Amino acid sequence: MNRYENLANVLSDRIEQGLYPAGIRLPSVRVLSSEHGVSVSTVQQAYRVLEEKQLVEARPKSGYFVKDARVQAALPAVCRPTQRPVDISQWDQVLELITSPHRPGVIQLGRGSPDVTAATLRPLSRLMGRAGQHQNLNAFHYDSIYGSEDLREQIARLMIDSGSHMDASNILITTGCHEALSIAIRSVCEHGDIVAMDSPSFHGAMQTLKGFGMKALEIPTDPVTGISLEALEMALEQWPVKAIQLTPNCNNPLGYNMPDDRKKSLLRLAQRYDLAIIEDDVYGELAYQYPRPATITSFDEDGRVLLCSSFSKTLAPGLRVGWIAPGRYHDRALHMKYITTGASATLPQIAIADFIKQGHYLQHMRRMRNQYQRNLCTMTDWVMKYFPCGTRVSRPQGGFLLWIELDERVDTQRLNRLLEEHLVQIAIGSIFSASGKYRNCLRINYAQTLTAKTERAVQQVGVTISQMLENC
């Protein structure tokens, strides 16, 4: 982390702790320069970061001041799913979401894609071209079933920040995180098994269970602390659960980071009932805090956690490069990898490994985390401005997805239909539940550069919701 980022974090913490109240004048650039032993330009950069985060404002000839406290919307309520295993539904709605990005002219507010237009991705494009030209045709051959050793070593180094110290030999490269999750599920479960999941949860993992003939047991989840360990323990006492699947860091769709003490408690619970934990960390690198939050895997001493991730959310989904660290289930996972796709595409693995080695990855991540955090403030402001009173909004700690809870009378599937004529699409809440709950919720993506066109789309969503309520 750069010096200006460290200083910005220090000042941000002081503001959040109330040491610098709203409206107060902050120390001058020269005072902070002397106090922290850094250059004037470093302090100026730190203040620019805080301005982008909308924590401070510059007043001509007066200095920097803490902005007035933002009025926060209420958090989404903790849902109480039926505490019994269910068959997964909602495939038709999921299919509609994943196929709609190809519709011309539609503003996609619901997709789960990062911003791929950043200038910091240009070196990756060059490396992709170079890999195809100068690898003596190696990029056009099958790679090892394990994946590129070079890339696996780079992934192992990146995961040190999460507290996970793993050897490259324990990592398998996959075709995206979706395949990693599929491999993990089939490595520990069979047809008819029950998997406990946080709720709401990633629709892709649920549809994987559906495809393999398994059942989901939805566990209530807090929008700040994550899956309810109390409810999970009660469920484990009642049902023969085979595994626990969850996204503890930068959760999709709620955005929380599960506290470390609760991660450790979850692991102890899994040990007591001898369960596997399938950990989806695909958004973990996009946490706004530094260092990034620890994985559950980092506390695992007996190899029961299968850690899944990819570069789809940090770099670009079209690369289709993911990975799994399957712990004690390595041999089983390797077989599952072989019978699905075999070796993954070679060329993007070579390019990503070089991208990381040359320092481009960390630079790109710094830029995107800052952009996403700025966009979160803007998108939240738009939702509070244009949506009806009483709307509940999540407070993501990372990533680029916002979860919104509306009045119970609003059906977001019908809302999506009404928005079609305005060429706007959202992600409806029911696809994030195995049993179709959260019909009055939706997910919005704020990854892209936010424009006046985006704001008009959000405004249209709010107007349509208000019209629906008037007609109830």
| 472 residues of the chain, pLDDT tens digit each | 688 888 998 898 888 777 788 788 899 999 899 889 999 999 999 999 898 888 898 888 788 998 876 667 899 998 776 678 888 877 888 888 777 656 678 899 998 999 999 999 999 999 988 876 665 566 677 789 999 999 999 999 999 999 999 999 999 999 999 999 999 999 999 999 999 999 999 999 999 999 999 999 999 999 999 999 999 999 999 999 999 999 999 999 999 999 999 999 999 999 999 999 999 999 999 998 888 999 999 999 999 999 999 999 999 999 999 999 999 999 999 999 999 899 999 999 999 999 999 999 999 999 999 899 889 989 999 999 999 999 999 999 999 999 999 999 999 999 999 999 999 999 999 999 998 899 999 999 999 999 999 999 999 999 999 999 998 8
Residues 6+ apart with CB under 8 A from 123: 355, 358, 360
Residues 6+ apart with CB under 8 A from 50: 8, 11, 12, 15, 56, 64
Q: Which residues pair with 220 in a beta bridge?
A: 199
> Which pLDDT score is estimated for 135?
56
Residues 6+ apart with CB under 8 A from 437: 79, 81, 199, 200, 218, 429, 430
Roughly what angle, to the nearest 10 degrees, separates helices 40-52 and 3-16? 50
Q: Are 272 and 219 in contact (CB under 8 A)?
A: no
Tell me which CATH code domain 91-117+366-471 carries.
Answer: 3.90.1150.10
With the C-alpha atoms ordered 355, 360, 366, 372, is the resulting torsion angle positive or negative?
Answer: negative
Q: Which residues pair with 218 in a beta bridge?
A: 197
Residues 6+ apart with CB under 8 A from 64: 25, 26, 47, 50, 56, 57, 58
Q: Say which amino acid occupies 352.
A: I
> Which pLDDT score is estimated for 81?
66
| Residue 127 to residue 142: CA distance in whole angstroms | 19
Q: Classify domain 3-65 at the CATH topology level.
A: Arc Repressor Mutant, subunit A (1.10.10)
> Which pLDDT score is estimated for 265?
98
Please state, in angstroms and as integers, the Cα–Cα distance from residue 351 to each residue in 127, 132, 206, 317, following that order: 5, 9, 31, 14
> Which pLDDT score is estimated for 291?
85
Tell me which H or E stretch contains 228.
none
Q: β-pairing, 63-66 with 56-59? A: antiparallel
pLDDT in tens, 3-43: 888 899 889 888 877 778 878 889 999 989 988 999 999 99
> Which pLDDT score is estimated for 1?
60
pLDDT in tens, 67-118: 876 667 899 998 776 678 888 877 888 888 777 656 678 899 998 999 999 9
| Residue 7 to residue 46: CA distance in whole angstroms | 6
Strand order in the sheet with 392-393: 392-393, 401-405, 441-445, 427-428
Domain ranges of the chain: 3-65, 91-117+366-471, 119-361
Q: Write out the E strands in 126-275.
A: 172-174, 194-199, 215-222, 226-227, 241-246
| Residue 365 to residue 351: CA distance in whole angstroms | 17
How far out from the chain centre does Cα 108 lie? 17
Selected from 2.40.170.20, 3.40.1190.20, 3.40.640.10, 3.40.50.720, the CATH number assigned to the domain covering 119-361 reads 3.40.640.10
> Which pLDDT score is estimated for 42?
93
> Which pLDDT score is estimated for 61?
78
